[in-house]
Amino acid sequence: MRPVERVRYTAPADRPRHVGPNGAKLIVWPVVNVENWLIDNPMPRQVLVAPTGAALQPDVPNWAWHEYGMRVGFWRFHALFERLGIRPTLSINGSVIGAYPRVAAAARDAGWEFMGHGWFQVPTHRLEDQRGMIAQTTQAILDFTGKPCTGWLGPGLTETLETVDMLAEAGVRWTGDFVLDDLPARIATAHGAMLAMPYSVELNDIPVVMIQHHDEQELPRRARLAAARLLQEAEAGSGVKVMGIAIHPYITGVPHRIPALEALYADLIADPRVAFLQGGEIADWYLASGDPA
């Protein structure tokens, strides 16, 4: 089925006025993305274009740019969330567990939720065995964390028209690939309904910093503007909404950007109207509400 056949259209006025956990007016969904970039492949993205613009392999400088995030940037995120008592969702390539066991163990031991993000950072469309990749990733997360992998984010949010059927078949209950609402919504699949979760391609450091080339203040600025508007609408009676914030260690985990992110989260956690939930917690809260959208 095409996406328009899987997700029923609903206007905000047609949805229930949801009450957030403990009366929260805004739910913030923090997502940290960790990936495994293979030096043998074209890099998923580039910070430094090769001389004359020619694509070169191996692409050592851009591989090393990402590697800095896994060696250093991740630990700045880890310290930030530990200090504030926030447990984010970890969007993780399944192969990160073996390639970067120190990172994976730190996230697991801190109570972060593991969301499948493919096996390597390779677009879903390029895989010959998509079903096998999903099974390999979800099994690795189960084996490592002791918890089933119920959430999914495609590498680069990539899906084919059959992906959600394969995800539901593997026991995945929700995905961030359908960024189409401020609330979860049901997706029809061949194996029952799953949920589209309010991930973000706007409150996301890849488009903000690496594509649009804004400075370190732009992502926090947008997040504050979005939070203020969603809180205003909630106070006016529209009900609680979900705001996702997506970050990558090699982009926002660098020294010149991390202070702005720390200030953003300090502001958000100081607001008693804001609740921080992981993806599975949001899914459980939403399903308990009885909203059929």
Please tell me whether residue 286 adopts helix, strand or coil conformation: helix
In this predicted structure, the answer to whether residue 139 has a pLDDT above a threshold of 80 is yes
Percent of the chain at pLDDT exceeding 90 = 96
pLDDT average, residue stretch 114-130: 97
pLDDT of residue 138: 98
Worst-scoring range by mean pLDDT, 45-49, 70-74, 154-158, 180-184?
A: 45-49
pLDDT of residue 145: 98
Task: Decide: 153 and 117 in contact? Cβ < 8 Å.
Answer: yes
pLDDT average, residue stretch 157-183: 98
CA distance 139 to 134: 8
Percent of the chain at pLDDT exceeding 70 = 100
Helix, strand, coil in percent for the chain, rounding step 5: 45, 15, 40
Contacts of 200 (CB under 8 A, 6+ apart): 179, 243, 244, 245, 246
Which residue in 77, 115, 102 sits closest to 252, CA to CA? 77
Q: Model confidence over 218-256: pLDDT tens digits?
A: 999 999 999 999 999 999 999 999 999 999 999 999 999
pLDDT of residue 293: 75
Q: How confident is the model at residue 52 (pLDDT cuts 50, 70, 90)?
A: confident
pLDDT of residue 53: 79
Q: How confident is the model at residue 51 (pLDDT cuts 50, 70, 90)?
A: confident
In this predicted structure, the answer to whether residue 191 has a pLDDT above a threshold of 90 is yes
Computed over every residue of the chain, the mean pLDDT equals 97
Cα 189-246-170 angle, rounded to 5 deg: 25
Q: Model confidence over 246-275: pLDDT tens digits?
A: 999 999 999 999 999 999 999 999 999 999
Please name the amino acid found at residue 255: P
Please tell me whether residue 187 adopts helix, strand or coil conformation: strand
CA distance 141 to 29: 20
In this predicted structure, the answer to whether residue 55 has a pLDDT above a threshold of 90 is no
Helical ranges in the chain per DSSP H: 3-6, 60-68, 74-84, 96-99, 101-109, 130-145, 163-169, 205, 218-233, 258-269, 279-289
Q: Model confidence over 13-38: pLDDT tens digits?
A: 999 999 999 999 999 999 999 999 99
In this predicted structure, the answer to whether residue 175 has a pLDDT above a threshold of 90 is yes
